[in-house]
């Protein structure tokens, strides 16, 4: 995480330098028409830019020059996004990372086409007018600008359907470029398949290693006395934990990957409105409530055992009873709000 931020800062500073240079250049050429640059020149410049950085950051002038300018013999895949922190677009950040992965992967493993396809980024805060001219009201949006003509409706990637994972973006780009590629590069065509190379994620492996070191170390230190493995309280707690995880639907979260909270008209909602789905926060709430109910009942049982003094036991009993009733009522009301038409309630409606 730390490395990536520092890298971002580094990139950002490069970008600043680069922008300054370009601004000077842009001012100089502004009076000419955008398409005065010849095709070869533009391709050359784009190639240079993308060699510096696979995703080319566009401002209005550059966008008109490279992406809108004709004639082209290259396609551009542009991501329209809003990266600045005050926009608060969290998915844009994620999409940006994935997009960069795609661009990098393309650069490194399809040299043949390196001047046929370029990756661009348009930020709303830098080039809002482009958003208006493209009639875009949301971000992030991926649009493919084909080598000939204007983008058609199918050249806009639907992130609702495809998701923003690098693999999905790559597949989408491959499909779109296929459309043109078939027409033009029939002879020389080898598929523009972008094999996505993800920077490997070591955190899982690291966690495993650390856990095994800790466990191994404990076993080694305690090798003379393995009694703690037979500790029934530890095992009991572990199995209770598993039970609560399962009954609160953590496995469902694991498989389906629901959102943490949901935004609705009435603000953020923590509870999914139908009994078919659930949110992550909701499962945590259920987890806590059900463990509280169980704790209440266990207190009641312990109070009945009659080892401690009478007053303490009475307090335990009443507390346990109260917890049981209160939290049961709460969980019932949550359930009732999910299952429409459920007739019963207790304490709370």
Partner 1 sequence: MAVKLLKSKTGEASSHKYETLLKLTILSLGAILSFSTRLFSVLRYESVIHEFDPYFNYRTTKFLAEEGYFAFHNWFDDRAWYPLGRIIGGTIYPGLMVTAAVFHYVLNFFNFLVDVRNVCVFLAPLFSSFTTIVTYLLTKELKNESAGLTAAVMIAIVPGYISRSVAGSYDNEGIAIFCMLLTYYFWIKAVKTGSIAWAAACSLAYFYMVSSWGGYVFLINLIPLHVFVLMVTGRFSHRIYVAYSTLYCIGTILSMQIPFVGFQPVQSSEHMLAFGVFGLAQILAFIDYLKSKLTQEQFDTLFHAVFSLFGIIVIGAVSVLLITGKISPWTGRFYSLLDPSYAKNNIPIIASVSEHQPTAWSSFYFDLQLLVFLFPVGLYVCFSNLNDANIFIILYGITSIYFAGVMVRLMLVLAPVMCIMGGIAVASLLGKYIKDIDQGSKSHEKKTVKGRDSQQSQSRRSEISMAFVGMLTFFMVMYAFHCTWVTSEAYSSPSIVLSARSYDGSLIIFDDFREAYYWLRMNTPPDAKIMSWWDYGYQITAMANRTILVDNNTWNNTHISRVGQAMASPEDKAYEIMRELDVDYVLVIFGGLTGYSSDDINKFLWMVRIGGSTDRGSHIKEQDYYSSNGEFRVDREGSQNMLNCLMYKMCYYRFGQMYTEGGKPTGYDRVRSAEIGNKDFELDVLEEAYTTEHWL
Query: Interface residues with partner 1 (CB under 8 A)?
Result: 153-154, 158, 160-161, 230, 232-233, 235-236, 239-240, 242-252, 254-256, 275-278, 282-283, 286, 290-291, 293-294, 297-298, 300-301, 304-306, 310, 314, 317-318, 321, 324-325, 328, 331, 335, 338-339, 341-344, 346
| 80 DSSP 8-state letter | E
Kindly state the smallest distance separating residue 299's Cβ from partner 1, in Å: 10
- State phi, psi for 69 to the nearest 5 degrees: -65, 145
Residue whose CB is less far from partner 1, 34 or 174: 174
- Closer residue to partner 1 (CB): 25 or 235: 235
Q: What CA dihedral angle connects 125, 130, 131 and 135, to 10 degrees?
A: 170
CA distance 118 to 110: 12
Sheet holding 55-58, edge to edge: 55-58, 117-123, 75-81, 141-145, 156-157
317 secondary structure, DSSP code: H
Q: Beta partners for 151?
A: none
Residue 331 Cβ vs partner 1, minimum distance, rounded to whole Å: 7
Give the shortest CB-231-to-partner 1 separation in angstroms.
Answer: 11
Distances (CA, A) of 56 to 50, 86, 285: 6, 22, 45
**Residue 333 C-beta: closest distance to partner 1, Å:** 12
Q: Identify which of residues 19 and 317 has a Cβ nearer to partner 1 in the complex.
A: 317
**Closer by beta carbon to partner 1, 216 or else 236:** 236
Closest to partner 1 by CB, 64 or 294: 294
Q: How far is the CB of 326 from partner 1 (least distance, A)?
A: 12
Burial class (CB in 10 A: 0-12, 13-18, 19+), 85: exposed
Residue (32 or 233) nearer to partner 1, CB: 233
Angle at 96 between CA 259 and CA 159, to 5 degrees: 55
- Closest separation between CB of residue 336 and partner 1, Å? 10
Distance between CA atoms of residues 339 and 334, nearest Å:
9
CB of 344 to partner 1, least distance (A): 6
| Spatial separation of the C-alpha atoms in residues 135 and 141, rounded to whole Å | 11
Nearest distance from C-beta of residue 52 to partner 1, angstroms? 35
Q: Report the Cα 130 to chain-centroid distance in Å.
A: 26
User: By C-beta, is 153 or 203 nearer to partner 1?
Assistant: 153
Residue 70: name the closest of 184, 150, 133, 136 by CA: 150
Output 100 or 278, the one with its CB closest to partner 1.
278
């Amino acid at each position: 995480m730390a490395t990536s931020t520092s890298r971002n800062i580094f990139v950002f500073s490069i970008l600043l330098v680069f922008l300054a240079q370009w601004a000077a250049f842009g001012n100089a050429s502004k009076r000419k028409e955008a398409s005065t640059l010849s095709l070869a020149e533009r391709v050359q410049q784009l190639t240079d830019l993308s060699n510096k950085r696979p995703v080319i950051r566009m401002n209005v002038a550059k966008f008109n020059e490279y992406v809108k300018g004709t004639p082209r013999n290259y396609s551009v895949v542009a991501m329209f996004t809003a990266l600045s922190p005050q926009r608060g677009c969290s998915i844009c950040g994620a999409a940006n990372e994935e997009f960069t992965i795609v661009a990098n992967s393309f650069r490194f493993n399809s040299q043949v086409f390196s001047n046929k396809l370029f990756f661009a980024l348009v930020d709303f805060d830098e080039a809002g007018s482009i958003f208006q001219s493209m009639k875009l009201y949301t971000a992030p949006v991926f649009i493919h600008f084909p080598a000939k003509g204007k983008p058609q409706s199918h050249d806009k990637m639907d992130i609702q359907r495809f998701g923003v994972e690098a693999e999905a973006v790559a597949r989408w780009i491959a499909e779109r470029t296929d459309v043109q590629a078939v027409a033009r590069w029939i002879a020389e065509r080898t598929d523009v398949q972008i094999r996505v190379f993800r920077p490997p994620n070591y955190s899982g492996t690291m966690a495993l290693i650390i856990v095994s070191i800790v466990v191994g170390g404990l076993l080694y230190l305690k090798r003379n006395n393995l009694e703690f493995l037979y500790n029934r309280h530890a095992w009991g707690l572990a199995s209770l934990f598993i039970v609560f995880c399962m009954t609160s639907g953590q496995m469902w979260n694991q498989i389906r990957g629901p959102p943490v909270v949901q935004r609705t008209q009435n603000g953020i909602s923590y509870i999914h409105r139908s009994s078919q789905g659930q949110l992550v926060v909701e499962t945590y709430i259920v987890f806590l409530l059900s463990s509280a109910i169980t704790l209440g009942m266990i207190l009641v049982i312990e109070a009945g055992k009659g080892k401690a003094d009478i007053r303490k036991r009475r307090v335990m009993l009443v507390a346990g009873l109260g917890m049981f009733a209160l939290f049961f009522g709460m969980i019932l009301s949550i359930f009732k709000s999910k299952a429409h038409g459920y007739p019963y309630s207790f304490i709370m409606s």
